[in-house]
Amino acid sequence: MKKSLVLAMAMALGVTASAYAANPFSDVPAGHWAYDAVNKLAAEGVVTGYPDGTFGGDKLMTRYEMAQIVAKAMANGANVDKLAAEFADELDSLGVRVANLEKKSDNVKITGQIRASYRDVDGDAKSHEGRLRTRLFVNGAINEDWTYTGRFENSQYYDGKDANGNSYGNKGEDDVKLNWAYVTGKVGGVKVMAGRQDFKLHTGSVIDATVDGGILSYGKDVKLTGYVGKAVDSGTWDNLDDVKGDLEDGDRLYAVDLSAKLGAFDSYVTYYKADTFNDNEIWNVGVAVPVVKDLKLTAEYLHGDDQRDGDSNGWAAGLAYKGAKASTPGSWGIYANYYDQPASTFLEHTIDGYAPFDFVTEDDGFKGYEVGANVALAKNIVAAVKYYDLEAREGEYDEQTLWSEVVFTF
């Protein structure tokens, strides 16, 4: 088979008479009748020539060599159905090599999320905040077993007034932060996640924070998970903040979790140790039980060894019906949660309800309820609204928060 048949590939790629990169082959001069076609195929990575720098256009080649060219062209997105059909048997025998080419061509994926949110707080602290948060996710395949994940984030505050009456609306933050950078893979039967990432177990009633560290997990229906690392960008009180705990930047954190799926029941027991200023240790036991179709009940008990005002036992419960799925327009859900947690039972809580700083440090935690609803307005567009009524367990503070958001994913 003459290498001149490669011109058929050039036609499949839509080659026209135009100049590309410098001529890569010494035996295909600029005045050659096939110069543009060969040069285009070389630029696309479809043909590579021989080690001595020649193209060898007059040499005979095997059907396997031609099949390899077809495979490379397919990996580059060319419409080569007829050629693929002609070399179907050879391509099939090259299955592993073709698969590797296709994987490499799709090695890195970039996705994104834009969230427009507004939070209005009434009660002892009257405040509000409008925020536009943009996130870009980078996912790359390292090899068959390991991947890399990164996340870039930027926030714009288009309206805001804090609890002290200070305005910060129309404040655009130009900084873009890389707040995820971790690898995921397996060592034997153990799943490994190492680097900067979000750390949240189960409901997030104990912790939902960005951390630097490693997570090891083993098992499926019965799974053992261990974590060691430190907190990053935690315990800060910029603008309006949520219910936070003792966790601050640089605090060491350790956790061991044993979870089990027993039929329709999900259960777990988790131990946390954090080197905060209180050196707190927390036990968290929970269960999720289906009540009827699409209706699930969750309940958990929390115990912290740092007794503040003599109380170290807390609990939380929730009821959820269905839930919006970004991929399914019209899907929706509603839920309700109740919390009664001393300050010793959480490190950085997941909820969006607002409370003053003294809420946590002087008044022994919080109690109250949250109700919410969400709906997929269209594919990849989800709207949600939440209402919180939270108060200090021992103090006088009482806050009501209305949160609304629309999330676009792409």
> DSSP for 13-67?
TT--S---SSP--TTS-TTSTTHHHHHHHHHTTS----TTS---TTSB--HHHHH
Model confidence over 358-370: pLDDT tens digits?
Answer: 444 455 788 999 9
pLDDT of the residue at 32: 77
153 to 101, 173, 238, 302: CA distances (angstroms): 32, 11, 16, 32
Lowest mean pLDDT: which of 173-187, 224-238, 277-291? 224-238
Six token digits for residue 63: 């059907």
The per-residue pLDDT for 95 is: 59
Residues 104-128 have pLDDT tens digits of 556 889 999 999 999 999 977 788 8
Digit-coded pLDDT (tens) for 128-141? 889 999 999 999 99
Q: Which residue has the higher pLDDT, 160 or 281?
A: 281
User: What is the band of 39 on the pLDDT scale with cuts at 50, 70, 90?
Assistant: confident
pLDDT at 2: 45
Q: Is the dihedral of CA 206, 208, 211, 217 positive or negative?
A: positive
| pLDDT at residue 382 greater than cutoff 90 | yes
Lowest mean pLDDT among 123-132, 291-300, 324-333: 123-132
Rounded average pLDDT over 76-105? 58
84's tokens = 């693929």
In whole angstroms, give the CA distance from residue 72 to residue 21: 19
pLDDT-wise least confident of 88-92, 173-177, 388-392:
88-92
What is the pLDDT averaged over residues 251-265? 94
Residue 19, pLDDT score: 43
List Cβ neighbours of 310 (8 Å cut-off, separation of 6 or more): none
- Average pLDDT over the chain reads 82
